[in-house]
């Protein structure tokens, strides 16, 4: 797993996780069309404090829902009774149990996506359905550009839509529906964005020795290069994927 700091940020997460709320709703809408009448035993990967879990429970008739997350402080806040603190790369379940596996805003944190999909394949039933969204390359494009100029900050190494399509295919899943969508959120200023982003815990640990001079330079460049009408944009690229275990596999 790439270094991140979710555990420390559990209490603030939901307040500042604007984009995660937006993409969770969109994932739910897609699942609504594809999965609704065919979910008995659902597994949610990287469920965290439950932004997506709550939507799922309100809108789906989930007979059994099981949530897994690595961060103890996050999973503690999740209202689902059936929850496990654990690594989704080593799922603590027997083979062939879940007919549906879902996940929102989590897969970009997983370096070994093959290992994860193999685990999903293992715990999923023969025709297991898989639905997830993931942050893609191009997310934080503004921050990436300004980082290069100023040496401040670090952006998570995110992947392309093709990377997930290839890995799904190679790990026994046929993706039947997918698309990439861009969102731009506007913040009052760069510092406000950095504070809110840090409060979600979804940050990559940067070098501690980066001084204030670089921070000020980062703010200055970001503002000059991208601000419009006294607001600064932050770009997110999100991939949505729906699939199922390959028949006869
Ligand atoms: C951005 S949060 C998303 C949480 C939730 N799904 C949501 O929509 O708000 C990413 C979550 O993935 C979890 N996570 C990252 N790597 C994990 C791993 N290897 N095993 C289990 N959970 C993991 C983190 O602890 C965190 O709660």
Ligand 1 pocket test, candidate residues 12, 17, 109, most atoms within 8 A of CB:
109
- For ligand 1, the distance from its centroid to the CA atom of residue 159, given in whole angstroms, is 17
What is the chain's length? 249
pLDDT digits (tens, 9 = 90+) for 80-113: 889 999 999 999 999 999 999 999 999 999 999 9
Query: Does residue 202 line the site of ligand 1, with CB under 6 A?
Result: yes
Q: How far is CA 149 from CA 33, 152, 214, in A?
A: 44, 8, 10
Ligand 1 pocket test, candidate residues 106, 108, 204, most atoms within 8 A of CB:
106
pLDDT digits (tens, 9 = 90+) for 34-55: 787 677 899 999 999 999 999 9
Query: Does residue 17 line the site of ligand 1, with CB under 6 A?
Result: yes
Q: What phi, psi does 98 have (nearest 5°)?
A: -95, 135
pLDDT digits (tens, 9 = 90+) for 198-242: 888 776 655 556 678 888 999 999 999 999 999 999 999 999 999
| Model confidence, pTM | 0.93
Query: Does residue 47 line the site of ligand 1, with CB under 6 A?
Result: yes
Domains located in the chain, CATH noted: 7-138+157-186+236-245 (3.40.50.150)
- Do residues 90 and 119 lie in contact, with contact meaning Cβ atoms separated by under 8 Å? yes
Query: Does residue 66 line the site of ligand 1, with CB under 6 A?
Result: no
Q: What is the DSSP letter of 65?
A: E
- For ligand 1, the distance from its centroid to the CA atom of residue 14, given in whole angstroms, is 13
């Amino acid at each position: 797993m790439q270094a991140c700091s979710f555990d420390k940020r559990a209490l603030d997460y939901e307040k500042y996780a604007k984009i995660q709320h937006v993409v969770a709703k969109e994932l739910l809408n897609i699942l609504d069309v594809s999965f609704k009448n065919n979910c008995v035993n659902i597994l949610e990967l990287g469920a965290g404090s439950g932004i997506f879990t709550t939507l799922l429970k309100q809108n789906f008739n989930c007979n059994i829902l099981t949530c897994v997350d690595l961060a103890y402080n996050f999973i503690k806040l999740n209202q689902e009774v059936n929850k496990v603190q654990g690594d989704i790369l080593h799922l603590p379940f027997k083979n062939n149990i879940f007919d549906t596996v879902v996940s929102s805003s989590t897969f970009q944190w997983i370096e070994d996506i093959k290992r994860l999909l193999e685990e999903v394949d293992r715990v999923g039933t023969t025709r297991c359905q898989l639905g997830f969204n993931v942050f893609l390359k191009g997310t934080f494009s503004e921050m990436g550009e300004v980082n290069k100029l100023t040496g401040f900050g670090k952006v998570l190494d995110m992947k392309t839509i093709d990377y997930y399509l290839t890995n799904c295919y190679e790990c026994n899943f046929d993706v039947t529906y997918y698309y990439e969508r861009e969102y731009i959120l506007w913040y009052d200023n760069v510092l406000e964005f950095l504070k809110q982003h840090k409060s979600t815990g979804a940050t990559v640990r940067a070098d501690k020795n980066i001084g204030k001079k670089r921070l000020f330079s980062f703010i200055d460049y970001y503002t000059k290069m991208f601000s419009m009408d006294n607001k600064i944009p932050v770009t997110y690229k999100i991939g949505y994927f729906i699939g199922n275990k390959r028949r006869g596999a």
